[in-house]
Amino acid sequence: MKKKAHKTRRQIQAAKALIAKKRVDDANALVDPLATLQSFHSYVAKDNSRIEIVCKRIKDIPPEILSWIFDLMERNMKQLYKQSSWGWDSTTKQNEMTEPAAWYLIASCEGEHIGFSHFRFDMDNGLEVLYCYELQLEPSARRKGLGRFIMQALESMAFQTLMQKVMLTVFKHNALAIPFFHALGYKLDNTSPPVAENLGYVILSKQNLCRGPVD
Ligand SMILES: CC(C)(COP(=O)(O)OP(=O)(O)OC[C@H]1O[C@@H](n2cnc3c(N)ncnc32)[C@H](O)[C@@H]1OP(=O)(O)O)[C@@H](O)C(=O)NCCC(=O)NCCS
């Protein structure tokens, strides 16, 4: 009797995993996951500048935009990586950023690129998730609500594609990002390493996803 119940539980788990995997595959098969979310195609920032947002697969990003993405990543993050046990290795980072599974949101103002997010639809510990690998803004584009807006766009895409949550990894010593993600309601994910391990990063997530821009 006990054995049968156990098998049934396993079968339920296997069925859930199949559904989760199919959701990830379906999301990755979309031509543009932002296409139907029109409220996220542009943003009027706190200084009244108008910002356009596009969503692209890595393979569709022109080389000059990719160079800017690498450059901004390095300008924003090199020091923080060097201060961590991971260190900074631009080749490894660029390889990760150009893996075929990578999707990008790119924000531009008057033809100038001012921010991007690298994200993926993926399985994480058996769950279908939208993983935010990067959120990087030019210094001049910060504190105008754009970071919040891009995260809301990710949350809406996750909601629309039936992902369970939006996840991200952040250095504990990233003094800009920690208060930002907390202000947006991100909490310690249950897969984050135990505090006792004293690692330099935490995994945050949000499960109650919004469907549109929220002030
Ligand atoms: C982190 C980052 C994306 C935030 O984007 P942003 O557009 O500046 O943030 P927003 O203007 O949307 O801020 C939303 C809220 O987050 C909080 N916040 C944002 N930046 C903050 C800061 N430097 N200090 C304290 N709180 C901050 C505030 O509560 C803010 O609301 P408010 O402006 O109404 O007070 C941006 O600072 C950045 O690109 N940093 C460098 C790259 C980086 O560290 N990326 C994260 C890697 S995991």
Q: What number is the average pLDDT over the span 50-77?
A: 98
Distance between CA atoms of residues 168 and 164, nearest Å: 13
Q: Whose CA is nearest to atom 32 of ligand 1?
A: 143
Domain that holds residue 62: 2-164
| DSSP one-letter string for 120-138 | EEEEETTEEEEEEEEEEE-
Which structure tokens are listed for 161? Answer: 């594609």
In this prediction, residue 90 carries a pLDDT of 97
Domain assignment of residue 186, yes or no:
no
Domain assignment of residue 180, yes or no:
no
Domain assignment of residue 61, yes or no:
yes
The owner of tokens 């499960």 is 207
For the chain, give the percent of residues with pLDDT over 90: 88
Domain assignment of residue 60, yes or no:
yes
Share the mean pLDDT of the chain: 94
Q: What number is the average pLDDT over the span 199-203?
A: 96
Which structure tokens are listed for 102? Answer: 């990578």
Distance between CA atoms of residues 55 and 117, nearest Å: 9
In this prediction, residue 209 carries a pLDDT of 74
Phi, psi of 174, rounded to the nearest 5 degrees: -85, 95
Q: 99 C-alpha to center of ligand 1: Å?
A: 27
Distance between CA atoms of residues 126 and 190, nearest Å: 13
In this prediction, residue 215 carries a pLDDT of 56
Domain assignment of residue 145, yes or no:
yes
For the chain, give the percent of residues with pLDDT over 70: 94
In this prediction, residue 72 carries a pLDDT of 98
Q: 17 C-alpha to center of ligand 1: Å?
A: 35
Q: Which helix (H) or strand (E) holds 56?
A: strand 50-57
In this prediction, residue 83 carries a pLDDT of 97
Q: What number is the average pLDDT over the span 120-141?
A: 97
Q: How far is CA 212 from the centre of its chain?
A: 17
Residue 69 has pLDDT above 70, yes or no: yes
Residue 75 has pLDDT above 60, yes or no: yes
CATH number of the domain bearing residue 124: 3.40.630.30
Residues 6+ apart with CB under 8 A from 27: 33, 121, 128, 130, 161, 163
Residue 213 has pLDDT above 90, yes or no: no
Domain assignment of residue 194, yes or no:
no
Distance between CA atoms of residues 194 and 78, nearest Å: 26
Domain assignment of residue 132, yes or no:
yes
Q: How many domains does the chain have?
A: 1
Distance between CA atoms of residues 179 and 79, nearest Å: 19
Dump pLDDT digits (tens) for 1-46. 455 556 798 899 899 999 999 999 999 999 999 999 999 999 999 9
In this prediction, residue 97 carries a pLDDT of 98
Q: 138 C-alpha to center of ligand 1: Å?
A: 11
Residues with CB under 6 A from ligand 1: 76, 135-137, 142-148, 170, 174, 176-177, 179-180, 183
In this prediction, residue 172 carries a pLDDT of 97
In this prediction, residue 208 carries a pLDDT of 73
Helices (H) then strands (E): counts for the chain: 5, 8
**Ligand 1, atom nearest to 146 Cα:** 7
